Chain A
Amino acid sequence: MKKTLAFALAVLLIISTAACSSAPASTPTPSAKGASQKLVVAHKGDPGGLFAQTIANSTFNGPLDYLLYDPLVFYDNDSNSFKPCIAEKWEQVDSTHMKFYLRKDVYAHDGNQIKASDVIYTLKTGQESGKVASYYDRFDLKECKVVDDYTVIVATKTPDPYLFYTLSGNALGIVSEAAVKAGGGPDAQQTKPTAGSGAYKFVSWERGLKIVLARNDRYWGGKPYFDTIEVRIITDISARMMNLESGDVDVVLDPDVTQAKALLGNNKFKVDNIKTIASNMFLMNCSKAPFNDVKVRQAMALALDYKSDVEVAMKGFGYVTDSIFANAHPAYAAPDGSYTNYYHYDLAAAKKLMAESKYPNGFTFTLKYTETAVYPALAQLMQNQLAQIGIKVVLAPTASTVFYTDAAAGNFDMYLAAPSFADPFSYLNFFDGRVGFQKANGGCGWQGPEELNTLIDKAKVNMDEASRKEMLKKIQAIINTNVPALVLGSQNRVLVAKADVQGIKYQVNGDIILSRAGRK
């Protein structure tokens, strides 16, 4: 009797546990290509949320933001210029005001029309949340004005020569105020966005599995090619690639470079290899020893084997850099011999400089980095190469939460990061002694000469391209000679796809834009 009861209860418990567990349906197998046009994209992880104005921007969000939202202008990487998007034309009012004329046929996914007031609402929401400060802090909201339903004036706090790079970014997708309100406010929009006017609209999101988008039939730019875009979350870097080869997915974002290299020359697949503006920077804490000794810094720059390192770490999907700005950056000025450049490999010269420095016998320091992308490889390469001039590097892979806190607190000897700002002055915060660790969220703690500060201040508000470029060239000369940071190559944006997928575009910072993709 008791025995049966015990059994019955055990069975009951098992059943109830099993019942609790039947929540999500299993993923349906992907339908065969052909009849209905569907694009399956392998992505590395869930985005933080789908409403860019009130969430920290990350590479997880970018590709989805560009599908769901359209910004005012669109960067075309083929012609390296800005093309109309929601704004069909624009004109400069003065150095801080820009007038945009909007299209009259732009509708948010819930049916509300996008008008001039929505542009202001977008800027206001983004600035107030503070989550994407590097994009939104520049706008002067008091000066932004609605002229009429389809004309808006966007104002910046200071003249901003790089405004369009910001305006075309994924965090600046224009949202409809009415749609946000109807959809339950920004928080609700994070998981169920309805306020964008992008080529594809949101259908469903199973966290950790997939996000499904459907064609926006009212899209102003003509009928988008695919009925459905399914963004599958496949966290494992090798698994993303295997799914491409087995035919389960069409496009792989962030593939492993070694694996991408193996696909070069395979006519079933295509490998996009797009230069980006982000360079890998080893930022030194120059406010303390030993990095307050300029000879040490110069010696370290000379000790790195740039060419081999870039080849080993990036497998050809990257290029060697020789200035604090990557070669593809709009502010880059090639070293022309007017100053001594240390960003090249010369071991003998490095040893000589070390011998002349305050640390002829070397020293030990800790390098902090996050364990993503090419950082671990770069860290190990630099560790090995600095050992040749007697410098011992302790590698400290750090969780990103700790990493950024430490960087902003100046709590590091050296850290490795590859920030990607189209606006060169966001980079220059790292090298501007007046800014400080906390405000720049990192940097070098390096006090440059007064001349540098004056140049930065002048160049920042200079709307004349030629003279600004001249100033930026001088700025780079000063910084490059002093080497407050080592630069070790710029990694390209790599994307692999089935050979018939075409029309994938890239933002200037390397973000992937899939909204115009189609098939041959």
Chain B
Amino acid sequence: MAKLYTPAMAKIDKKKAKLKGRIQKTSPGREAWKRLRRNKLAIGGLVILGILVLIAIFANYIAPEGIDNQVLTRTLQTPSTQHLMGTDNFGRDIFSRVIYGTRISLPVGFICTFLAFAFGGVLGSIAAFYGGRADNLIMRFMDIFQSIPPLLMAIAIAASLGNGVLNLVLAISLSTTPGRSRVIRAAILTVKSNDYIESARAIGASSARQLLKYMLPNAMGPILTNFTFGVAAAILTVSSMSYIGLGITAPTPEWGSMLSSSKELMRVAPYTLYFPGLMIMITVLAINLFGDGLRDALDPRLK
């Protein structure tokens, strides 16, 4: 009955073959990890990140002093062997504060991005999955939201919620949600037309199952890359917001807020400005290095 072999059937066969092949071959995730491992810069970034995480965990063992150990007789001392990064206006050891700062910037940056992706993920995947009117409605609303510069949006939200870590996290994640929803929508749209999604639909998988089981995992590549860069951007935003006094406030040793209170000391004690800024840069640099590696590993065409 070879006559009945239609192009549609050929397509299905091809699909089956493809699926089989995928199972037998090493998974794309493992492939990517292999490629990532070979990328020295990315591994460098990962190592720095690892060190920062370790510092955050063991901060109380590494830091010689607490975060708010004011000794008013030793204010504004230049860096020395006793105080590696000097002391601040209140006689606090800057090194200790910088060390404790890792406990704030990394998790806060991560949570901000995670929330933005969670909000944006829901909106973006609904838009991409249902398309048509839902897509139009959500995306037009995002357009409006996005026509306000994100930093100003975050400032306005933070001002209305008041100071504090939680409010800051909410402000930053809300203001970046439209951008993230776009990323997720685009990623899902690219996989939506793939054959295996059609076959999933054909075998009667529910919408939720189609979305969560087949679309999202396959769209994960660009989302993961974007997430990494998102964390880097969030860390920068957190510190800028604290710098203008709308985020985490003293005496919490957030790097941006440390810089904010040191700004007036620029001329008499410039060293108070060096280290917190340097730490922000190192952290963001490490994340970006890793993100670059991840992108190259997941999308090998560019390498």
Within the complex, are A and B direct neighbours (CB within 8 Å)? Answer: yes
Question: Could you say which of A14-22, A194-202, A394-402 contacts chain B?
Answer: A394-402
Chain A, range 344-383, C-beta contacts under 8 Å to B: 371, 376-377, 380-381, 383
Chain A residues whose CB sits within 8 angstroms of the CB of B159 once the complex forms: 399
**B contact residues, range:** 20 to 34
A463–B267 Cα distance when bound, in Å, is: 50
What secondary structure prevails in chain A residues at the interface with B?
helix
**A384 close to B (CB within 8 Å):** yes
From B70, B91, B163, A397 is in contact (CB under 8 Å) with B163
Chain B residues whose CB sits within 8 angstroms of the CB of A256 once the complex forms: 264
**A405 close to B (CB within 8 Å):** no
Asked if residues A377 and B89 are in contact (CB atoms below 8 Å), the reply is yes
Chain A residues whose CB sits within 8 angstroms of the CB of B73 once the complex forms: 308
A395–B91 Cα distance when bound, in Å, is: 19
Chain B, range 247-273, C-beta contacts under 8 Å to A: 249-251, 261, 263-269
A311–B264 Cα distance when bound, in Å, is: 16
Chain A interface, number of residues (Cβ within 8 angstroms) = 25
**B68 close to A (CB within 8 Å):** yes
**Max count, chain A CB within 10 A of own CB: residue among B72, B159, B266:** B72
A239–B91 Cα distance when bound, in Å, is: 25
A238–B270 Cα distance when bound, in Å, is: 12
From A262, A309, A376, B268 is in contact (CB under 8 Å) with A262
**A440 close to B (CB within 8 Å):** no
Contacts known (A305-B72, A312-B90, A384-B68); A238 close to B263, Cβ less than 8 A: yes
**A204 close to B (CB within 8 Å):** no
Residue of B nearest to A399 (CB): B159
A308–B83 Cα distance when bound, in Å, is: 21
A308–B74 Cα distance when bound, in Å, is: 11
**B222 close to A (CB within 8 Å):** no
**A59 close to B (CB within 8 Å):** no
A371–B267 Cα distance when bound, in Å, is: 21
**B245 close to A (CB within 8 Å):** yes
Asked if residues B264 and A397 are in contact (CB atoms below 8 Å), the reply is no
Chain B residues whose CB sits within 8 angstroms of the CB of A376 once the complex forms: 250, 261
Asked if residues A397 and B245 are in contact (CB atoms below 8 Å), the reply is yes
**A340 close to B (CB within 8 Å):** no
Chain A residues whose CB sits within 8 angstroms of the CB of B167 once the complex forms: none
A237–B89 Cα distance when bound, in Å, is: 17
Asked if residues A258 and B265 are in contact (CB atoms below 8 Å), the reply is yes
A380–B261 Cα distance when bound, in Å, is: 12
Contacts known (A237-B264, A241-B267, A381-B90); A396 close to B163, Cβ less than 8 A: yes
Q: What mask results when residues 233 to 249 of chain B are scored 1 for a CB within 8 Å of chain A, else 0?
A: 00000000000010001
Asked if residues B72 and A258 are in contact (CB atoms below 8 Å), the reply is no
Chain A, range 155-183, C-beta contacts under 8 Å to B: none
Contacts known (A376-B261, A377-B89, A380-B90); A311 close to B72, Cβ less than 8 A: yes
Asked if residues A397 and B90 are in contact (CB atoms below 8 Å), the reply is no
Chain A residues whose CB sits within 8 angstroms of the CB of B68 once the complex forms: 380, 383-384
Asked if residues B90 and A259 are in contact (CB atoms below 8 Å), the reply is no
Asked if residues B251 and A381 are in contact (CB atoms below 8 Å), the reply is no
**B39 close to A (CB within 8 Å):** no
Chain B residues whose CB sits within 8 angstroms of the CB of A399 once the complex forms: 159
Chain A residues whose CB sits within 8 angstroms of the CB of B250 once the complex forms: 376, 380, 395
A384–B91 Cα distance when bound, in Å, is: 12
Asked if residues B251 and A238 are in contact (CB atoms below 8 Å), the reply is no
Residue of B nearest to A312 (CB): B72
Asked if residues B75 and A312 are in contact (CB atoms below 8 Å), the reply is yes
A121–B303 Cα distance when bound, in Å, is: 80
Asked if residues B90 and A258 are in contact (CB atoms below 8 Å), the reply is no
Asked if residues B264 and A384 are in contact (CB atoms below 8 Å), the reply is no
A259–B89 Cα distance when bound, in Å, is: 13
Contacts known (A238-B267, A376-B261); A395 close to B249, Cβ less than 8 A: yes
A241–B75 Cα distance when bound, in Å, is: 22
Asked if residues B267 and A262 are in contact (CB atoms below 8 Å), the reply is yes
| B228 CB to nearest A CB, Å | 33
Residue of B nearest to A261 (CB): B268
| B241 CB to nearest A CB, Å | 13
| B64 CB to nearest A CB, Å | 18
A285–B119 Cα distance when bound, in Å, is: 42
| A399 CB to nearest B CB, Å | 7
From B163, B251, B264, B267, A380 is in contact (CB under 8 Å) with B251
| A154 CB to nearest B CB, Å | 43
Chain B residues whose CB sits within 8 angstroms of the CB of A261 once the complex forms: 268
Chain B residues whose CB sits within 8 angstroms of the CB of A259 once the complex forms: 264, 267-268
| B182 CB to nearest A CB, Å | 24
Residue of A nearest to B261 (CB): A376
Chain B residues whose CB sits within 8 angstroms of the CB of A396 once the complex forms: 163
Asked if residues B251 and A383 are in contact (CB atoms below 8 Å), the reply is yes
Residue of B nearest to A371 (CB): B245
A241–B264 Cα distance when bound, in Å, is: 10
Asked if residues B89 and A238 are in contact (CB atoms below 8 Å), the reply is no
A513–B218 Cα distance when bound, in Å, is: 71
| B216 CB to nearest A CB, Å | 38
Chain B residues whose CB sits within 8 angstroms of the CB of A311 once the complex forms: 72
Chain A residues whose CB sits within 8 angstroms of the CB of B269 once the complex forms: 258
Contacts known (A238-B263, A258-B264, A259-B264); A384 close to B245, Cβ less than 8 A: no
A sample of 16 more A-B contacts (CB under 8 A), given A308-B73, A377-B90, is A238-B264, A238-B266, A238-B267, A241-B267, A258-B264, A258-B269, A259-B267, A309-B72, A311-B72, A312-B89, A380-B90, A380-B250, A381-B70, A381-B72, A395-B250, A396-B163
B-binding residues in A (CB < 8 A): 237-238, 241-242, 256, 258-259, 261-262, 305, 308-309, 311-312, 371, 376-377, 380-381, 383-384, 395-397, 399
15 contacts between A and B (CB under 8 A): A238-B266, A259-B267, A259-B268, A262-B267, A262-B268, A312-B75, A312-B90, A312-B91, A376-B261, A384-B68, A384-B251, A395-B250, A395-B251, A397-B163, A397-B245
* Nearest 9 pairs of A and B residues by beta carbon: A308-B72, A384-B70, A256-B264, A262-B268, A258-B268, A312-B72, A397-B249, A380-B251, A371-B245
